[in-house]
Structure 1
Amino acid sequence: MALGTNTGGGIGAGTEVPALSGAPLLGSLHDLKSDSLGTYLRAQQRHGDVVRVSAGPPGMRADLYCVFSPEGVQQVLASEAANFRKDNAFYQEVRESFGNGLLTSQDEDYLRQRRLVQPLFTRRRVDGYAGAVAAETASVVTAWEEALDGVVDVSDEMTHLALRAVARILFGTDVEATAEAVARCFPVITEYVLRRGYSPANIPRTWPTPGNRRAAAAMEELYGVCDRIIGQRRRAGADASGEDLLTLLAAARSSDDGEFDAAELRDQVLIFLLAGHETTATSLCFALHLLARHPEQQDRAREEITRVLGDRPPQARDLERLPYLSQVVKEAMRLYPAAPVIGRKAVAATRIGGHAVPAGADVILAPWVTHRRPEHWPDPDRFDPERFTPEAEAGRPRYAWFPFGGGPRACIGQHFSMLESVVALAMILRAYSFEAVDTEIPVGAGITLRTEGPARCRIRRLDGRVGPR
């Protein structure tokens, strides 16, 4: 039987999946809670491409089937994508908090949403957002002038920049109130999702516990802001002339798929806010911090920026003219993928890498681990943008690097993420040099990868290199 062949209702003749040893009572529950990324990395190093990790007390124990090889990842995300669904407890919690948008929807809901949204994410349309990114980056560049030869936390700063950029693109002139509400409410909601998503049992959301009430208040505030702006766009109707993404979403329609109602619009907006700012903020933070720790690569990136741009602001067409800077971003995404862990649930039994995976199994993909496989990434923890020259990329399996997922559910915003990252980095590196203060940054897996400590850099103004005011 060929690799990945579906075995129908039974497990089939595949070999048993090796198991990571854990505590007698709770399995690997403590390890996953304290250091899930390190636990998955150890599982691969000890047992190979497919490993079973068990967590929880008897009677409530969950078995996670972890798939670490590029070939296995391709099977789950692409060649057998229909057999691996977003039906696990974690996605259900995200769905209940952030809505049934592109990230969380499935089946016909997902296909309809994707068809309506796809025209708004063509390369030509996305390229038009470069100006908004440049405007928000210019504000950061100017604000940092007060910290000359001082210290900035690039984690906090890039989160602020990415949030304002995506809010401006989504809402246009309504960026201020929206960005403030998101910055205030998102941390409360995401912590709530994580706590419930990784708990073996949860009380109903309707019970008036302090945690439930805090999350409900944050969701009410965030939903209210979105609903108010959506209502304004709906009332403007055909007279709306804005080119922000919300106006375009409100106008999206087809004879087959209809249009989004107000609740569906809010779901899309919330998912775009979540996925659109936290992921890019992660990439920008670690790209800057890695360059701050590697002055030779920082100088090379800055030389390319200066040679290509001079003193003018970057534009979308410059993305292809800044290949080394793009390689820096890709290498940062390899070492610090914004989605370090991806979950699916197997519908039917199958085999992955010759191992039997039963129907109903929770399947875990971990870019954090696959991006560090030494057979594809020699000296995997070393920062080396040269790994992403066209020749090097052509020599690796397709799914040795998958920060944007893959297959039919690949991230619709991947071109925007690259564009935003390159535009912002070009302006920042032209204005300032960076030296790392915190040489190591502890990280953890939330909804996205998150820093668990400061990422401070000492910055120095480079005269004549400041972006547009």
Structure 2
Amino acid sequence: MAITTGTEAPELAGHPLLGSMSDLKNDSLGTFLRARREHGDVVRIVAGPPGIRATVYGVFSAEGAQQVLAGESANFRKDNAFYQEIRESFGNGLLTSQDEDYLRQRRLVQPLFTRRRVDGYAAAIAAEVTTLTEEWRDAGAEPVDVLDEMARLALRAVARILFGTDVDAAVEIVGSAFPELGAYVLRRGYSPLNVPRSWPTPANRRAAAVHRALYEVCDRIIAGRRSSDGASPGDGQDLLTLLVEAESAEDGSFDATELREQVLVFLLAGHETTATSLGFALHLLALHPAEQKRAHEEVDRVLGGRTPGAGDLDALPYVTQVLKEAMRLFPAAAVIGRRAVVETRIGGVTVPAGSDVIVAPWVTHRHPDYWEDAERFDPDRFTPEAEAARPRYAWFPFGGGPRACIGQHFSMLESVIALAMILQRYEFEAVDTEVPVAPAITLQAMGPARCRLKPRQA
């Protein structure tokens, strides 16, 4: 491995005219892995033809990730083109807002994500898991794609928690709109040149139609809730009701547009991240019978056939370790982008002001300084002793610092309950052993992860 000396970051070798453009387009995650392997923990990656070239600094160490996301987070903003495209498609909610907008939103939303409040959603999560596992029993012997099934489960669970009994009104349009808008955002976010969204190209027109349909269903549900003075069709504890009621003397309350933007962010981040963790956890267990057996034994011993609740999380450490290891190998946020506000030194290397910077859980989670035989699935990497021995940012699937995911306890609660309930009922055998992936707004599978299901004896 080349050792960085001086203050200029080493540059990843690429095409004489196009730099690393083709490599990034064809396999960006593999390109980032190669950059770290060949040049170290801070690497300059140049892509595009002369005149419109883009330069990004890849920061791959745990210490560098901590500096960007936490220690010097004020110097690294969400000002890059990719975040701007997300803003234009999904609004200026917690994921994309900055400065006072972000602080105000965070203060209003934070009380809705206390541990006690989130734990109250356990029964709603369990109800959706029960529905899914009963459907599987009626499906016969055909393999199921666990990534698709966990996406369906996670979307229904977060929609139920957001909308209460209005869940079916949102699931169909969200399930079709998010993948299409996500692909549109990705194409524009990584293109050196884009036509304005207002131009009537086929891609723009299709994205605008999907965008309108998504906004309309959210606005319709929100308007109905506001016109009934925040009264939910259910018990009044769904997240939308709480967002409608959120208010403080300092920050006021959310207007209709702000409500929609928060709802869209929660739908996006709240289902895609959890679906990725759960789907790959099942895929990995299906490939590793010994670890699957150990997880079955823990679930049987702790739960004895009953439905788990929030109070069971601490009693299911191995199930939790399985999920954390799945999030290490397949982090939903595989790459996190920022823009440097001022010139900064990271790992002895100068990053100029205005530079685009990425930290990459996909790479750091495989860094040989922190992970031995990093591609091997081993949930015991996440025993308390093993976690304490590693740097804090050797594993950061939820980001970190002041912009860390506000819903990480919700994601872990849903994931542990769902995985435990599924393991109570089924054994898994892998049909697909390799699942190619690529980064989008979240990590996307480029092929199926089919498993054969064997019902377990009650």
| Matching of residues 313-462 of structure 1 within 5 Å | 313-462=307-456
Equivalent residues of 1:433, 1:461 under 8 A apart: yes
Moved over 6 A (4+): none
Equivalent residues of 2:230, 2:241 under 8 A apart: no
2:109 maps to which of 114, 117, 122: 117
| Residue-by-residue CA offset, 1:264-283 (whole Å, 9 max, x unaligned) | 00000000010000110000
Other structure's SS at 2:156 match: helix
2:129 is aligned to 137
Other structure's SS at 1:147 match: coil
Quick one: percent identity of the two aligned structures? 71
| Residue-by-residue CA offset, 1:172-201 (whole Å, 9 max, x unaligned) | 101001001101211111111011001001
- How far apart are the structure 2 equivalents of 1:76 and 1:186? 29
AA partner of residue 189 (structure 1): L
- How far apart are the structure 2 equivalents of 1:238 and 1:320? 35
1:162 is aligned to 154
Tell me: CA distance 1:395–1:60, structure 2 relative to 1, closer, same or farther (3 Å). Answer: same
Equivalent residues of 2:344, 2:353 under 8 A apart: yes
Report which stretch shifted further, 445-454 or 240-249. Answer: 240-249
1:214 equivalent to 2:206? Answer: yes
- How far apart are the structure 1 equivalents of 2:316 and 2:190? 41
1:192 maps to which of 184, 192, 198: 184
| Residue-by-residue CA offset, 1:353-384 (whole Å, 9 max, x unaligned) | 00010000000111000000112110000000
- How far apart are the structure 1 equivalents of 2:415 and 2:375? 22
1:260 equivalent to 2:254? Answer: yes
Other structure's SS at 2:427 match: strand
AA partner of residue 142 (structure 1): E
Equivalent residues of 1:14, 1:351 under 8 A apart: no
Equivalent residues of 2:398, 2:405 under 8 A apart: yes
Tell me: CA distance 1:450–1:238, structure 2 relative to 1, closer, same or farther (3 Å). Answer: closer
1:75 is aligned to 67
- How far apart are the structure 1 equivalents of 2:177 and 2:140? 32
AA partner of residue 168 (structure 1): R
| Residue-by-residue CA offset, 1:402-421 (whole Å, 9 max, x unaligned) | 00000001000000111111
1:58 equivalent to 2:58? Answer: no
- Where structure 1 has 5 or more consecutive residues not aligned to the other structure, the ranges are 1-12, 465-469
1:297 maps to which of 291, 299, 320: 291
Other structure's SS at 1:230 match: helix
Equivalent residues of 1:148, 1:461 under 8 A apart: no
Equivalent residues of 1:370, 1:401 under 8 A apart: yes
What TM-score does the superposition give when structure 1 sets the normalisation length?
Answer: 0.95
Other structure's SS at 1:103 match: coil
Tell me the CA shift for residue 149 of structure 1: 3.6
2:96 is aligned to 104
| Residue-by-residue CA offset, 1:67-115 (whole Å, 9 max, x unaligned) | 0000000100001000000000000000000000000000000000000
Other structure's SS at 2:284 match: helix
Equivalent residues of 2:58, 2:359 under 8 A apart: yes
1:41 is aligned to 33
Equivalent residues of 1:148, 1:460 under 8 A apart: no
- How far apart are the structure 2 equivalents of 1:426 and 1:44? 36
1:203 equivalent to 2:195? Answer: yes
Other structure's SS at 1:34 match: helix
- How far apart are the structure 2 equivalents of 1:132 and 1:374? 40
Other structure's SS at 1:435 match: strand
Equivalent residues of 2:75, 2:342 under 8 A apart: yes
AA partner of residue 202 (structure 1): N
1:5 is aligned to none
Tell me the CA shift for residue 148 of structure 1: 3.9
What TM-score does the superposition give when structure 2 sets the normalisation length?
Answer: 0.98
| Residue-by-residue CA offset, 1:280-331 (whole Å, 9 max, x unaligned) | 0000010000000000000100110011111111100111110000000000
Tell me the CA shift for residue 147 of structure 1: 3.1
AA partner of residue 81 (structure 1): S
- Where structure 2 has 5 or more consecutive residues not aligned to the other structure, the ranges are none
- How far apart are the structure 1 equivalents of 2:411 and 2:171? 18
* RMSD between aligned residues: 1.0
- How far apart are the structure 1 equivalents of 2:73 and 2:104? 18
Tell me the CA shift for residue 238 of structure 1: 5.5
2:215 is aligned to 223
AA partner of residue 454 (structure 1): P
Equivalent residues of 2:225, 2:231 under 8 A apart: no
Tell me the CA shift for residue 146 of structure 1: 2.3
- How far apart are the structure 2 equivalents of 1:222 and 1:71? 40
1:8 is aligned to none
- How far apart are the structure 2 equivalents of 1:238 and 1:343? 37
| Residue-by-residue CA offset, 1:27-85 (whole Å, 9 max, x unaligned) | 10111111000000000000001000000111110111000000000100001000000
1:233 equivalent to 2:222? Answer: no
2:171 maps to which of 179, 186, 194: 179
Tell me: CA distance 1:238–1:278, structure 2 relative to 1, closer, same or farther (3 Å). Answer: closer
1:271 is aligned to 265
